[in-house]
Amino acid sequence: MADISIENVEALGKPLGQYSHMTRVKNAKETLYIAGMLAPGDTFDAQCSGCFEQVGKALKAAGGGWGNVAQFTTYLVHSQDIPKFMAWRLREFPKMFPDGKFPPNTLLIVDRLVQEQFLVEVQTIAAL
């Protein structure tokens, strides 16, 4: 199993949400790149939950879990959804990452995703 250390750098200040500044990976046998996951749903929360559920399934299929995540990249269509995204993470990430070490996350606002109905997409890198 890879030695994964999720860290914050004091000189960079405190992260603004449920993420850390960096992940250090040693002894990884394999790096897993999970394509951006989308999920249907009538609300932002439903889509966000579905995206992370899909990521969880991909991690499990590769023999990993949330502890193997090295980084997320999140794409939102509306900047107005940033507070919803932060609230979702505040509520759900402690369940996924009970040690409180949340992987780095790059958050991007984009014009649209592959289909108009999608509001959020999550891409993941993991070390196995």
| Residue 67, pLDDT above cutoff 90 | yes
Residues 6+ apart with CB under 8 A from 78: 109, 119
Q: Which domains does the chain have, with CATH numbers?
A: 3-127 (3.30.1330.40)
Q: Tell me the pLDDT band of 93, cut-offs 50, 70 and 90.
A: very high
pLDDT given for residue 1 in this prediction? 76
DSSP 8-state code for residue 115: S
pLDDT given for residue 75 in this prediction? 98
Taking the C-alpha atoms of residue 48 and residue 88, their distance in angstroms, rounded to an integer, is: 8
Range 95-108 average pLDDT: 97
Taking Cα atoms as reference points, which of 68, 74, 32 lies closest to residue 52? 74
Using DSSP, state whether 62 is helix, strand or coil: coil
| Residue 47, pLDDT above cutoff 90 | yes
Is the Cβ–Cβ distance between 97 and 105 less than 8 Å? no
pLDDT given for residue 123 in this prediction? 98
Q: Give pTM, 2 decimals.
A: 0.95
Taking the C-alpha atoms of residue 3 and residue 123, their distance in angstroms, rounded to an integer, is: 21
In the predicted model, what is the mean pLDDT of the chain?
97
| Residue 76, pLDDT above cutoff 90 | yes
Range 110-121 average pLDDT: 98
pLDDT given for residue 35 in this prediction? 98
Which tokens sit at 13?
């200040």
Taking residue 67's Cβ as centre, other Cβ atoms within 10 Å add up to: 18
